Chains A and B, each alone.
Chain A
Amino acid sequence: MLNLGTDEMAKYPFLAEAGQYLKDKGFTLDQFGSDPDLGPIIEKAYKRIETAATGKIYRSEIVTLDDLDLEVFSFLMAVILLKLSGMHTLIRRFSLAEARRAEKYLEKDLQNISNKKQEELAIKIIKDLFSMDVKKTDDYFVIQVSDYLKHSVFFHEKEWKLINRRTDRGNVFLTSHEAVRLIRKELDSYIRSKIQSIKTPTMLAALEKPVEKLVTLAKKFSVPTIESTEYPPCIKHAIDFLDKGENLSHSGRFLLATYLLSIGQSVEQIAPLIKNAPDYNEKITLYQLNHLAGSSGSGTGYKCPSCDKVKTNDLCFATSDCNGIINPLQFKKKKNLNA
């Protein structure tokens, strides 16, 4: 575990072991229920969640050393409030906002040429938490291609594709902003899993009100969806292709079958679609469909491939209706913007 000072803990409070931190500072959780002097911490913790819920990043106002403790306490208290509320939508928003907050500090520390120690700490956090070796070469932060790929596959913007990166001798060259941005999702997952791993404490009287307010806040964020009856363009293309008696590739048939199975069609409903294929064989088709459905073989059903995989296989015929989806199955659950 990293050995951090309070100022560093204030920047990266999710690295603190909550119980140990409180104990080290001479506090117990029960005190928050009885000591009115600790009220501002609860208030600040609520604000921290509220800011995160609206998609903004909480800004620290550190002036004195006491403020540093307040920063860490308010984070830990926010986690307790979230656990007591049980509102997963808020936990998701909070962890992402905290990840983005930490990202800003990491980026600043990486760029801090006057303080080598801070740069080293930022590099060490990235290495310890995300098993990614970062080396500094001139103005670039250099990571191995294999490490880059493990993180970049979570991005859907084309600029993150390896082809659009400066690459040489097995290394990818990134700016400090890009190096930190690369781990946002994992930073978010790390914070979220840390929150999830904490045991929900017993409710204290002083926390009842803010917890109730959180439950009300969470209700604002439920998003109604509508079901589209249309097939996504890649599936339409596969069906049209087979209709014409063309030879749809193996990956095309896999896409079509797994998609239709996922939306609830049966093997018997899907098999006739393949009938026009030049190499159609009823026995083999049924065997393969049953295998994909998981009703034969190892019993594991196959999932519909992601849009990325569909693209790689040259089977993607995206239209503007596909914007924002990462799997053809999501085409049926487009957000109803008017709701």
Chain B
Amino acid sequence: MLDKDLQLLESAFKKYYFDHFDLIHVPERTSEREFGYQKFNSGMNRHLPIKSDEELRIMLITNIPSDVYCSNSYYSFPNLPMNEKDWKEADLIFDVDSKDLNLDCRKDHSCIKCLSCSEVALSQKICPNCKSTKIEEKSFTCLNCVTAAKNEITKLITILTEDLDVSKKNIHVYFSGNEGFHVYVKNSNFQKLGSRERSELVDYLMFRGAIPETFGMKKFNSNRSSFPEFDEKGWRGRVSRQLFGTKSKRSKGITEIISNGYTTFQHRLENMKDTLGVKIDPSVTMDVHRIFRLAGSLNSKSGLTKIFCDDIEKFNPFRDACFIDDEKTEVFANCPITFTLKNKKFGPYEKEKVTVPKFAAIYLICKGFANSV
């Protein structure tokens, strides 16, 4: 990162941490958590103990980190190396990232940055300037992406509460500060589960590994009454509603499924994971030693804040997670796509000097579309 960019980012992040400390608190059971942080242009510092809001504040103001993290796991000795920490349990965490939803709108707000010549262009496989294949995908998120991610969260919460008996009051949704959401489940029966068990839970939520027999279909001699009823609980009910549409179409639907055969039904189930399954990042939930962005801290990929979503329906990240001030700031921008922050539209910019509010300048620099002048 260039020195000028670094100075601007550090001063903006410092001001944020100074002005908005009310948004950042150490989580409960603080002494059992591992903390970590990263500075701009530097590596990760992990295995840190932080005991109080006061200690956290001192760390933020003295180090001005680009990113701050905290474990979802609880340890006896959180500051020791991983194999000596003595893992006790961990909250369940799900990561819903709009990048993983393969939405049609993505191409409209994605572009590439060449790692060889720094050229920025709309999405393509090779750099149009130097023909290099070493390119980095860059993207913004749009409201359509946010709505789709919210739909996934609704699906997730339904399965967690109905099938797995997780109490709604123990489910907390946070905007990640960039392109997705983190869903935390605290104080559940799943706290002590290890990585393998969590991976099974992920397969359940994502509707992966379902076999036709579970839904009544056998290789030979399928019994019509084994097919799921329309109002059954769990996946059998969801699959039934997806397969038949209405109760009255069930009988006809079963006849059709049996006549099409086992393999066809198997493929149909396989495809259902895209519609019925919850789209979460499996590796995040499986990992019981990960440290996650701390709520209230800034995300250096955007300059937006990771923030608790009290009302997920109404939440708008471009308005509710943007806390950097609006002091006029001049940057040299090269950004072929537009974005909206605090209800104001920005871009496109074609290798030009522009004066924008600081929150937009920080967003552009964090995304790699501008440099400080």
Residues of chain A having any CB pair with chain B under 8 Å: 144-146, 149-150, 152-153, 158-159, 161-171, 245, 250-251, 278-280, 297-300, 306, 308-309, 311-313
Cβ of B304 under 8 Å from chain A: no
Cβ of B193 under 8 Å from chain A: yes
Residue of A nearest to B46 (CB): A297
A161's partner among B83, B136, B209, B283 (CB-CB below 8 A) is: B209
Given contacts A159-B213, A163-B209, A166-B234, contact A145 B286 (CB under 8 A): no
Contact B165 A169 (CB under 8 A): yes
Complex interface: chain B residues within 8 A of A158 (CB): 209, 211
| C-alpha gap A301/B202 in the complex (Å) | 26
Q: Mark B162-173, 1 if CB is under 8 A from A, else 0.
A: 111110000000
Contact A149 B286 (CB under 8 A): no
| C-alpha gap A47/B210 in the complex (Å) | 43
A to B CB contacts below 8 Å, 19 in the list: A145-B190, A146-B197, A149-B201, A161-B200, A161-B209, A163-B207, A163-B208, A164-B209, A167-B163, A168-B233, A169-B163, A169-B165, A250-B283, A278-B135, A298-B82, A300-B81, A311-B209, A312-B203, A313-B283
Contact B210 A164 (CB under 8 A): yes
Residue of B nearest to A169 (CB): B165
Contact B115 A279 (CB under 8 A): yes
Given contacts A153-B197, A159-B213, A169-B162, contact A312 B282 (CB under 8 A): yes
Residue of B nearest to A246 (CB): B133
Residue of B nearest to A249 (CB): B283
Cβ of B227 under 8 Å from chain A: no
Nearest-neighbour CB distance to chain A for B119, whole angstroms, equals: 14
Nearest-neighbour CB distance to chain B for A157, whole angstroms, equals: 10
Complex interface: chain A residues within 8 A of B209 (CB): 158, 161, 163-164, 311
Contact A168 B234 (CB under 8 A): yes
| C-alpha gap A309/B164 in the complex (Å) | 22
Residue of B nearest to A298 (CB): B81
Residue of B nearest to A165 (CB): B214
| C-alpha gap A251/B290 in the complex (Å) | 14
Complex interface: chain B residues within 8 A of A170 (CB): 163-166, 189
Cβ of B222 under 8 Å from chain A: no
Given contacts A163-B203, A163-B235, contact A149 B211 (CB under 8 A): no
Complex interface: chain B residues within 8 A of A146 (CB): 189-190, 192-193, 197
| C-alpha gap A306/B200 in the complex (Å) | 13
Interface size of B as a range:
35 or more
Residue of A nearest to B277 (CB): A163
Nearest-neighbour CB distance to chain A for B302, whole angstroms, equals: 19
Complex interface: chain B residues within 8 A of A309 (CB): 195-196, 199, 286
Complex interface: chain B residues within 8 A of A167 (CB): 163-164, 204, 233-235
Contact A312 B214 (CB under 8 A): no
| C-alpha gap A170/B190 in the complex (Å) | 10
Complex interface: chain B residues within 8 A of A150 (CB): 193, 197
Contact B82 A164 (CB under 8 A): no
| C-alpha gap A145/B236 in the complex (Å) | 16
List B residues 228-265 near A (Cβ within 8 Å): 233-236
List B residues 94-122 near A (Cβ within 8 Å): 115
Given contacts A167-B234, A168-B233, A279-B136, contact A153 B213 (CB under 8 A): no
List B residues 141-182 near A (Cβ within 8 Å): 162-166
Q: Which 8 A-B pairs rank lowest in CB-CB distance, beginning with the nearest?
A: A170-B165, A298-B81, A149-B197, A168-B233, A146-B189, A164-B214, A162-B204, A153-B196
Contact B202 A312 (CB under 8 A): yes
Given contacts A167-B235, A278-B134, contact A162 B201 (CB under 8 A): yes
Contact A145 B235 (CB under 8 A): no
Q: Which of A163, A245, A298, A311 has the most CB of B within 10 A?
A: A163
| C-alpha gap A146/B165 in the complex (Å) | 11
| C-alpha gap A278/B136 in the complex (Å) | 7
Known: A163-B214, A169-B162; 6 extra A-B contacts, CB below 8 A, are A146-B193, A153-B200, A159-B214, A297-B81, A298-B83, A312-B203
